[in-house]
Amino acid sequence: MKKLIMFFAGIILLLLTFVALYFSGALFDASNDRYIEAFVFQPNNLSTDRIGHPVPVEKLSDKFVRERLIKKFIIEYFYINPDVENIALRTRSDSVMAAMSAPDVFKDWRKTEVKEIEDLSGKKAFRTVTIGDEILKKGDYWEVYYELKTWHETNNMNLTPDVKNGIMYIKISFEKGIRDKRAGGSFDIQKFLENGGDPAAVFKFRVDEVRR
Amino acid sequence: MDYPGNFETPAFPAGKRIAVSRFMAICALSAFLLIVFLCGILLWSSQSEKLEPFMISANNESGEWKIVGKNSGTVEYSINHTMQESVVGNFVKDWFRISADNSENENAWKSCERNICISDSLTFGDRSCAIYCNISEDLYSRFSYDIMPDYIKRSQNGETWKIDEKSLSISPAGKISDKGGTWQISTNIVSNNIGKFTVKAFLKVARNKNFYPQTMGFYVADFNAYRID
C-alpha cells in the first residue's frame, strides 16, 4: 500500500513538473508575442521624412554625430516659424537649446537673438537655415558657414526672401555617447523621449562659446 | 551476526532498499526544483534583456529632431489626429486652387452662413464655401482682404493653380492634442503661367464642436504660407 502511494506521489510529481514546463513555455511565448495591426499610409511624398537604414549610434562615426549636432545647434539658433508658442517652447530653460549650450552661451543667445526671433515670429515671418557642407576645425573652433532666408510677409506668393550669409565659429565639448546625467541628476532617457523630449538633447554635446 | 568476520552483514535487511529509494526521491526532487528554477531563469532572461531602440529623424530645414519609430510593433493614430490631418489636407487643396471656371472660384471663395456649412445642401465634391466653412472668421477676413484680390487678378489673367497632390507632405509642427495643434505642410503648386513652385505652410488647427460639426469641430484658425522657390 505504501509503495502504491509512493508510486502515485511520483506520478503526481512528474505531472506537476510537466505542468510547470507548460506554463513556463506559455509565459515565454506570451513575453514574445507580437501583433500586427494593419494601417494604410496616405499617398504623400514623405521622402524628406523617410528614414534610411536605421543605424545604432555606436556604429556611427564621431564626425557624423558631431556634424549633425552642430547643424542642429545652428538651425536652432536662427530658425523662425510663425508659431509663437513654438518659439516660447524653444527659448525655455528646459529647451533643447539650453541642453546643447553652456549657460553663458544660452544666456547670450537669449539676449541677442531671441528678441528678434520673437518679433519676427509675431509678425508671421519665416526663416530657414541652410548649413554649408564643410564644417572644418580652425584651432579650438569649428567654422560653420550658414545661409538664412527670411520671408518677412506671410501668404504672399510673389515675395522673394531676404538672403543673408554668415560664418559662425563655435567651441564645443563633445564625447560620443548618450548622457547619463542631466543638470547634475540622473537622466532617464526612455522616459525623456517618450514624453516628447528632443532626441538631440540626449547626446554628450555642449557648445561652450560662439563667435560670429 | 558474524561480526567482525563479515562486515557486509546488514544490521537491518531492508536498509539498502530504503537508502536507494530515499536517494532516488532526493534526486527526483532536486531535478524537479532544478527544472522549475531553469524555467524561471529562462523567463527572467527573456524579459530582462529588452532593447528599446528609438529611431530619430532629423529635418535639415527646421532643425527638428523627432522620434519616428520605436519597437513597439504598432503604430497608432487617434481619430482626432487623423481628422486634423484630413482637415489640413483638404483645406490646403482648396486654398491653393484657382480654377479656369470663374464661377467655381467665386463659389469656393464666397462667404456663407454657418448653417449652410453643416446642412445637407453641400454634397460631396461641391466646393461651395470651401474656404469659409473650414476656417475661423478672422482668417476668412484675412483671406478676403489680402489673398482674394490677388487670386481674382490671377484668375482674370487666365492663370490656374492646383496642388500636386503627390507632393503634399503633412506633419505636426509641435504637439498635437485633441484640441488641435500646429501642422506644417510642404507641397508643389502647378500654375499654367509660372510653372511649378514649392510652398511651405504652417496651419494652426483649433476646435469648436458647435460651429464645425462636419469635421468633429476641427477648423483652421491660422494659415501662413511661403513660396520656397
Confidence of residue B122 (pLDDT cuts 50, 70, 90): low
Subunit contact B42:A28, Cβ cutoff 8 A: yes
- How close A85 comes to chain B (CA, Å)? 9
**pLDDT tens digits for range A61-115:** 888 889 889 999 999 999 999 999 889 999 998 899 999 999 999 999 999 999 9
Report chain A residues whose CB lies below 8 A from the CB of B169: 44-46, 48-49
Phi and psi at residue B124, to the nearest 5°:
-60, 130
Subunit contact A27:B184, Cβ cutoff 8 A: no
CA B104 to chain centre: 34
C-alpha cell at B124: 460631396
Other CB atoms closer than 10 Å to residue A155's CB: what's the count? Answer: 20
Q: What is the pLDDT of residue B135?
A: 92
Examine the pLDDT at B181 and tell me if it is beyond 80. yes
User: Looking at the partner chain, which of B32, B39, B67 has a beta carbon nearest the beta carbon of A193?
Assistant: B67
Subunit contact A86:B174, Cβ cutoff 8 A: yes
Q: Give, in order, the Cα–Cα distances in Å from A141 to each of A84, A137, A168, B110, B143.
A: 32, 6, 9, 58, 48
- How close A143 comes to chain B (CA, Å)? 18
Q: What is the pLDDT of residue B156?
A: 92
Report chain A residues whose CB lies below 8 A from the CB of B170: 42, 44
Q: Which residue of B has its CA nearest to A157?
A: B227
Contact yes or no for A172/A203 (Cβ under 8 A): no
Subunit contact A44:B169, Cβ cutoff 8 A: yes
Q: What is the pLDDT of residue B175?
A: 82
CA A171/CA A207 separation, integer angstroms: 6
Q: What is the pLDDT of residue B138?
A: 93
- B155, B166, B226, B227: best mutation site toward chain A, by most A Cβ within 10 Å? B226
Q: What is the pLDDT of residue A154?
A: 93
**pLDDT tens digits for range B64-104:** 777 766 655 555 678 888 899 999 999 999 999 999 988 89
**pLDDT tens digits for range A30-54:** 666 555 544 444 445 555 555 456 6
CA A76/CA A97 separation, integer angstroms: 7
Subunit contact A49:B59, Cβ cutoff 8 A: yes
Find the distance separating the first CA and the last CA of chain B, reported in whole Å: 114
Q: What is the DSSP string of B83-152?
A: HHHHHHHHHHHHHT-B-SSHHHHHHHHS---HHHHHSTTS-TT--TTTTGGGB-HHHHHHIIIIIHHHHH
Nearest to B223 by CA among A149, A124, A84: A124
Subunit contact A51:B52, Cβ cutoff 8 A: no
CA A166/CA A113 separation, integer angstroms: 14
- Sheet of A203-211: strand order equals A126-138, A141-151, A162-178, A203-211
Tell me the whole-structure pTM to 2 decimals: 0.72
> What mean pLDDT comes out for the span B37-44?
84
Other CB atoms closer than 10 Å to residue A179's CB: what's the count? Answer: 15
Q: What is the pLDDT of residue A121?
A: 94
CA B141/CA B163 separation, integer angstroms: 23
Mean pLDDT for all residues in chain A: 84
Subunit contact B32:A81, Cβ cutoff 8 A: no
Kindly give, in sequence order, each residue whose CB lies less than 8 Å from that of residue B98, ignoring residues fewer than 6 positions away.
B105, B151, B154, B155, B159, B160, B161, B162
Cis amide bond preceding B172, omega within 30: no
- Least confident segment among A46-50, A165-169, B165-169, B211-215: A46-50
